[in-house]
C-alpha cells in the first residue's frame, strides 16, 4: 500500500461502519487522519470504530435529516477544531422495479438518503472549509449515474444527481483550496447487495470488462488521494472505478 499523507487531518466518512465507507476509514487512519464515522446505525458505527482502533470515533447520524447532520458537524468541530475532509459514502439501493411501477415511497426514500443526504453533508461542512481556505470533499456516486441500470431508475437518477452536485459545487469553491470530486464505482460485494435481486447482481457483473466486482480497498485507495493535499488542482471531476464499463 502506497503512503498517502493525511497526517493531522480531520475526516468524516458517512456510511463508514461497513463496505466502501469502512475501507475508506481504515485507509485514512493508516494515512494519519483522525476520522469520525457517521452512520444511521450508531451502535454499528461505534463497534466499527472500536475495531479499527485509535483515531476513530463512531456516532449515529441520519444524513437524510439536516438537523442530525448539522448537530454532528458542530460537535466534531467543537471537539477537534475543524473538518478537513468529507466523504459521503452513505447510500441505499432501493428495490428493483420498472420505472412506471416504482413505489413512490421507495423513490422518495432513496432520494432522501442519496441526494438530500449528500447535499446536507456538503452544506454543513463547506462554510468552515471556506473560512479556513482548505477542504476536500469526495462524493460517492455510481456507474449507474453515468449509464443507468434497468430496474434501478431511482438509484441511477440519485447518483446522476450526485455527479451534477459535484460539478456545480466544485465550480462554486474553485477559488479556494477546496477540492470537490466524486467517484463512480461499479458494484462491490457489500451489504447493499442484500437490497437487490440476484438477477440484477448478475446483470451488473456481466457489464464489467474486468470480469469481477470492485474491491472496497481499491475504492479506498482512490478516495485517499482525492482527499489529500496532493489533489490540489483537480475539482468538479468524476473518477471512474467501473472496471472498464465506462470509459468517459
The CATH number of whichever domain residue 76 belongs to comes to 3.40.50.720
The DSSP code sequence of 88-116 is E--------B-GGG--HHHHHHHHIIIII
Q: How far apart are CA 94 and CA 196, in angstroms?
A: 8
pLDDT, average across residues 54-79: 97
Any domain includes 196: yes
Which residue reads 477559488 in cell numbers?
175
Q: Which of 66, 155, 203, 248 is catalytic?
A: 155
Can you give the residue range of the structural domain that contains 103?
A: 10-240
The residues facing 135 across adjacent strands are: 178
Label residue 194 by pLDDT band (50, 70, 90). low
pLDDT, average across residues 24-44: 97
Cα torsion 82, 122, 176, 240 to 10°: value is 120
> Is the pLDDT assigned to residue 175 strictly greater than 70?
yes
Please report the pLDDT score of residue 193 as a whole number: 64
Any domain includes 247: no
pLDDT above 70 covers a percentage of the chain that reads 98
* CB proximity list for 101: less than 8 A, separation 6 or greater: none
pLDDT, average across residues 143-168: 95
Task: Answer yes or no: 102 catalytic.
Answer: no
Any domain includes 54: yes
The tally of domains found in the chain comes to 1
231, 179 contact by CB (below 8 A): yes
Label residue 195 by pLDDT band (50, 70, 90). low
Please report the pLDDT score of residue 244 as a whole number: 87
Averaged confidence pLDDT in the chain: 94
Q: Residue 188 has what DSSP assignment?
A: B
Angle separating helix axes 104-111 and 153-172, nearest 10 degrees = 30
Label residue 245 by pLDDT band (50, 70, 90). confident
Any domain includes 17: yes
Q: How far apart are CA 105 and CA 176, in angstroms?
A: 39
This prediction has a pTM of 0.93
Amino acid at each position: 500500500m502506497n503512503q498517502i499523507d493525511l497526517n493531522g487531518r480531520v475526516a468524516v466518512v458517512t456510511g463508514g461502519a461497513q463496505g466502501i465507507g469502512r475501507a475508506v476509514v481504515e485507509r485514512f487512519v493508516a494515512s494519519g487522519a483522525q476520522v469520525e464515522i457517521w452512520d444511521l446505525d450508531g451502535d454499528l458505527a461505534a463497534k466499527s470504530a472500536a475495531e479499527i482502533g485509535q483515531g476513530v470515533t463512531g456516532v449515529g447520524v441520519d444524513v437524510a435529516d439536516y438537523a442530525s447532520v448539522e448537530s454532528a458537524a458542530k460537535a466534531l468541530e467543537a471537539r477537534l477544531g475543524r473538518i478537513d475532509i468529507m466523504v459521503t459514502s452513505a447510500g441505499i439501493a432501493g428495490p428493483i422495479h420498472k420505472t412506471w411501477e416504482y413505489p413512490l415511497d421507495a423513490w422518495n426514500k432513496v432520494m432522501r438518503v442519496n441526494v438530500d443526504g449528500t447535499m446536507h453533508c456538503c452544506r454543513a461542512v463547506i462554510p468552515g472549509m471556506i473560512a479556513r481556505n482548505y477542504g476536500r470533499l469526495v462524493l460517492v456516486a455510481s456507474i449507474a449515474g453515468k449509464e443507468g441500470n434497468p430496474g434501478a431508475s431511482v438509484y441511477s437518477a440519485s447518483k446522476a444527481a450526485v455527479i451534477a452536485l459535484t460539478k456545480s459545487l466544485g465550480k462554486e469553491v474553485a477559488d479556494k483550496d477546496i477540492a470537490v470530486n466524486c467517484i463512480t464505482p461499479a458494484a462491490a460485494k457489500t451489504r447493499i447487495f442484500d437490497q437487490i435481486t440476484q438477477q440484477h447482481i448478475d446483470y451488473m457483473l456481466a457489464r464489467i470488462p474486468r470480469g469481477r466486482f470492485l474491491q472496497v480497498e481499491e475504492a479506498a485507495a482512490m478516495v485517499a488521494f482525492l482527499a489529500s493535499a496532493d489533489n490540489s488542482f483537480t475539482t468538479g471531476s468524476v473518477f471512474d472505478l467501473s472496471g472498464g464499463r465506462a470509459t468517459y
